[in-house]
Amino acid sequence: QVQLVESGGGVVQPGRSLRVSCAVSGFTFSDYAFHWVRQTSGKGLEWVAAIAYDGNSKYHADSVKGRFTISRDNSKNTLYLQMNSLRAEDTAVYYCARSYGALVGPTPTVWGQGTLVTVSS
Amino acid sequence: QTVVTQEPSFSVSPGGTVTFTCGLSSGSVSTSFNPTWYQQTPGQAPRTLIYSTNTRSSGVPDRFSGSILGNKAALTITGAQTDDESDYYCVLYLGSGISVFGGGTKLTVL
């Protein structure tokens, strides 16, 4: 069955870096675009980044631009989010989500369970 | 900066009908924004209900429907059930690779 499994979350100090991953199975990874979406405790969803099926087109929200980078390895069926210069306001559950198409226009429709990132000294 | 707007909360009686909307701080929503709707209960990942304006996701009951109403996207629940008590979010694709979520609507069924 279709599965998206995030990993790599944890506690990190402000200013440090962390990389979260999303391993997928049950479908052809390279056929779809992917998104990262985050949610702070008790708050709403925030779109963070998106990447097209071939990794050639990448987009980031203004709130993370220049600090976070989305990437993918189609040979490993894995999506990544490299997070640098982390801030307290980046504390959230980070969800990996598959688009319903190959490009980033189609929105997320299949979700992982999320991984918690806590930025604290 | 474009803001996606949703009603903060709604209340509906069991068996009743409720319509949530998803608008823009500036301009009108059309199908080209690929409106998508999610349901989320506390501690759970979002569940996709409707994508591409009006396509029901697999396994979603037909009491959930999506449309464009006036200048907004809309999600209608016809025959609400107590299990429908959740938070509901919309997302719009604004172009240039950017998507934006609405702030969510909390639905109470009582």
A45 close contact with B: CB closer than 8 A:
yes
A50-88 confidence digits (pLDDT tens) = 999 999 999 999 999 999 999 999 999 999 999 999 999
Cβ <8 Å between B45 and A47: no
Q: Which residues of B87-108 are buried (b: 16+ CB within 10 A; e: fewer)?
A: bbbbbbbbeebbbbbbbbbebe
B9-65 confidence digits (pLDDT tens) = 999 999 999 999 999 999 999 999 999 999 999 999 999 999 999 999 999 999 999
Q: What is the pLDDT of residue B87?
A: 97
Q: Give the number of beta-carbon pairs within 8 Å between A and B.
A: 66
Q: How far is B87 from chain A, CA to nearest CA, in Å?
A: 9
- Please give the C-alpha separations between residue A15 and each of A11, A69, A121, B88, in angstroms, as whole numbers: 12, 15, 10, 34
Cβ <8 Å between A45 and B91: yes
The counts of H helices and E strands in chain A are 0, 11
Q: Which amino acid does the sequence have at A28?
A: T
Residue numbers in A near B104 (CB within 8 A): 44-45
Strand partners, A111: A97
A30-52 confidence digits (pLDDT tens) = 999 999 999 998 889 999 999 99
A87-116 confidence digits (pLDDT tens) = 999 999 999 999 999 988 889 999 999 999
Cβ <8 Å between B45 and A105: no
